[in-house]
Every structure is written in structure tokens, then in C-alpha cells.
């Protein structure tokens, strides 16, 4: 079974559920307060872990296949323990970079509005970011000698560090056959298209696409065809309008798939991490479910994300 090494920041999310979004400089009483582990790649791994448990129950239980490469506060700190406890079944011990001297993990303060279904996120992170040398030192021993194929999934942050990481993977004898996927999510982060240009699978967010002036997922993906890899798979989610994906091919006969948002008669209760859940669904389809068509994979990911928003957190999605 293939290894997936996910690289990104882990947050501790403090979520205030409020009846409606507060006006500026007003007071409002929240109906609940929740603290849970967040962060795009960690959320994705939490969902993937469940999918692997259900669909591949016969795999070798002793050998972890999901790895999280992330910067955490000091080993043994309350925050680091909280994060580690939240990711059972994901390998962290050998892949995490601990910042000794730091006690606090990256934090997100999230206002979840019940009437609009929005989640407004304010982040704070003072942990120094991963460097290229740290990345190389961590990934070298992750896979057993002779493991020729596997997958790297990156949250698209710090492009100036990630681009050399991509190039290291492509040039390393042990990892050159690994595939690379990347999220292009946050508007205003310079260098994301350069990462997209070198990846095998790219996840574009609606937020990023709208900031670029696109008004639909199709329009966004059409504009990414010219500079991305010849065989890349490009995906774009569009909230209540569903999702679109295109599998590029060498002869320009690209395969497109689109799906409406998954409908349920249950209420939307938690959209935090819906995109991360979609990512898990696509990665499951392309890495493990080899015989699925593009449409099968997109529909699976779309339904998974649709089911996620009707429940709090990420449990029971497998
Ligand atoms: C959801 C999420 C949260 C985290 C924030 C980081 O996608 O990963 O869990 O706090 O985004 O940007």
C-alpha cells in the first residue's frame, strides 16, 4: 500500500457557535464553545485514516501509511500531546518537527454562525516555519528502503520553501516516482501557481478562484490548463454549487467531470474542514481506488464533504 506524507500546519481550533455573525464592536453570547485539533492536512489525514480502515481492513496494521510532517510546539507540551492524541493511526513521531521552547500550537479562533452557516477564521501562528533542510531530513527515512512509489500532499503555504521541496522530491533517487498534490487555497499567497505548475494533482479553492476573478469552478480550471503539468488532475470546489475536476491528457483530449453539491435533508451544522474532507475523498480515489473513473472519485469526495457538513468534526466519515 502506498504511503501518503502530508505536509502542512496543524492548528488548535477554538470554535464559538453563535446564532448570527456579530456586528463589529457589539457583544454576543455564544451557544457553545468547542476546542479541537484542526489544520488542513491534519483534517484530511483524520478522514483518510477512517477511509483506509473501512475499505482496506486487511492491511498490515503495524505499518503506518499516513504520515504528518508538521511543525509542532515542544515535545511533551500540552498542545503537542493534544495534537498527537487526535491523530491515532497517523505516523507523527518520526515526521514531526518540534520547536523546543515553544508551548503554543498555531491557533485558530473560529466564529461559526448558525443562521448563515459561515465559519469565519482568524489564525495566529508564531512557530517558525519548516525549512528545506528540515523537510529533507524528515522525509529521507520515512519510507522503507526500496519504496519507489508514494504520495506527498502539501498545504500550499510558504511557496518559497515548498518549491525547493518539490524539486528535491523530483530529483531524489528514492522519491522521484512519488506523486505530488498541492492545495491552492488562500488568496494573496504569492507563488501558489508556481507550485500548481509542478504538481500532479491540484486543489483550487473557491476563495482563491474568486479572488482571481473567476465566477465558476469550470472557468477557474479552464484558466489553469495552460501552465499545469500535461497529465495533471485539477479540482475546484464551489460550495453549494458542487465541484468540477479535469484530468488533463497529452493529446489535449481532457476528461472533465462535474457534480452538484451533495444534498441531504439534514441541517448544515459544521462547514469547518469541508474542503479538507473533499481533499481526503479525492486522494483516496486517486491513490488507493485505482479502478475508479474521474467521475466516481469526484462524486465520492463530494458526497463525503456533503456528509461532513451535517455533523460536528470528522468522526464517523468512513
Ligand atoms: C479548516 C482549517 C481549520 C484551521 C484553518 C487553518 O480548513 O484547517 O481546521 O483552523 O483551516 O487555516
Q: What is the pLDDT of residues 193-228, one digit of tens each?
A: 999 999 999 999 999 999 999 999 999 999 999 999
Q: Is 50 in the pocket of ligand 1 (CB under 6 A)?
A: no
Report the DSSP pairing between strands 243-247 and 11-18.
Answer: unpaired
> What's the CA-to-centroid distance between 304 and ligand 1, angstroms?
18
Mutate to test the pocket of ligand 1, among 7, 8, 12, 43 (most ligand atoms within 8 A of CB): 43
Lowest mean pLDDT among 7-21, 58-72, 160-174: 58-72
Q: What is the pLDDT of residue 14?
A: 98
- Read off the DSSP letter of residue 91: B
Q: How far is the CA of 9 from the centre of ligand 1 (A)?
A: 9
Question: What pLDDT was estimated at residue 93?
Answer: 87
Residue 60 has pLDDT above 60, yes or no: no
| Residue 95, pLDDT score | 93
pTM score, whole prediction: 0.95
Confidence at residue 57, expressed as pLDDT on a 0 to 100 scale: 58
pLDDT at res. 128:
96
Instruction: Name the residue with the closest Cα to ligand 1, atom 9.
Output: 38
Distance between Cα 47 and ligand 1 center (Å): 14
In the reported structure, the alpha carbon of residue 255 is separated from the centroid of ligand 1 by a whole-number distance in angstroms of 31
pLDDT tens-place string over residues 73-115: 999 999 999 999 999 889 998 999 999 999 999 999 999 999 9
Residue-wise pLDDT for 133-190, tens only, equals 999 999 987 766 666 679 999 999 999 999 999 999 999 888 888 999 999 999 989 9
What does the pLDDT read at residue 67? 95
pLDDT at residue 55, as a whole number = 65
Instruction: Give the bridge partners for 122, in sequence order.
Output: 109
pLDDT exceeds 80 at position 56: no
User: For 88-91, which contacts have Cβ atoms below 8 Å and span 24 or more sequence positions?
Assistant: 88/49, 89/49, 89/53, 89/64, 90/42, 90/45, 90/46, 90/49, 90/64, 90/66, 91/64, 91/66, 91/67, 91/142
Mean pLDDT, the chain, rounded, equals 93
Amino acid at each position: 500500500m502506498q504511503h501518503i506524507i502530508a505536509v502542512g500546519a496543524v492548528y488548535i481550533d477554538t470554535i464559538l457557535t453563535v446564532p448570527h455573525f456579530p456586528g463589529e464592536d457589539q457583544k454576543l453570547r455564544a451557544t457553545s464553545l468547542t476546542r479541537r485539533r484542526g489544520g488542513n492536512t491534519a483534517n484530511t489525514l483524520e478522514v483518510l485514516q477512517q477511509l483506509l480502515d473501512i475499505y482496506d481492513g486487511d492491511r498490515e496494521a503495524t505499518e503506518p501509511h499516513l504520515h504528518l510532517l508538521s511543525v509542532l510546539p515542544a515535545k511533551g507540551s500540552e498542545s503537542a500531546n493534544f495534537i498527537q492524541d487526535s491523530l491515532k493511526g497517523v505516523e507523527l513521531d518520526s515526521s514531526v518537527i518540534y520547536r523546543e521552547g515553544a508551548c503554543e500550537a498555531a491557533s485558530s479562533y473560529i466564529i461559526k454562525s448558525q443562521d448563515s452557516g459561515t465559519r469565519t477564521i482568524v489564525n495566529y501562528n508564531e512557530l517558525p516555519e519548516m525549512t528545506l533542510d528540515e523537510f529533507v531530513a524528515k522525509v529521507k527515512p520515512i519510507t522503507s528502503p526500496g519504496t519507489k512509489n508514494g504520495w506527498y500532499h502539501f498545504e500550499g503555504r510558504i511557496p518559497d520553501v515548498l518549491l525547493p521541496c518539490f524539486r528535491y522530491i523530483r530529483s531524489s533517487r528514492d522519491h522521484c516516482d512519488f506523486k505530488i498534490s498541492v492545495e491552492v487555497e488562500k488568496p494573496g499567497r504569492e507563488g501558489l501557481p508556481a507550485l500548481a505548475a509542478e504538481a500532479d494533482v491540484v486543489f483550487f479553492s473557491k476563495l482563491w478562484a474568486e479572488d482571481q476573478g473567476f465566477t465558476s469552478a469550470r472557468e477557474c480550471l479552464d484558466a489553469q490548463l495552460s501552465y499545469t503539468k500535461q497529465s495533471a488532475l485539477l479540482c475546484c470546489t464551489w460550495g453549494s454549487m458542487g465541484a468540477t475536476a479535469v484530468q488533463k491528457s497529452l493529446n489535449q483530449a481532457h476528461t472533465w467531470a462535474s457534480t452538484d453539491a451533495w444534498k441531504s435533508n439534514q441541517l448544515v451544522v459544521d462547514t469547518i474542514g469541508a474542503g479538507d474532507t473533499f481533499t481526503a475523498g479525492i486522494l483516496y480515489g486517486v491513490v488507493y481506488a485505482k479502478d475508479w473513473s474521474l467521475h466516481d472519485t469526484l462524486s465520492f469526495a463530494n458526497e463525503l464533504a456533503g456528509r461532513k457538513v451535517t455533523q460536528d468534526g470528522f468522526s464517523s466519515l468512513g
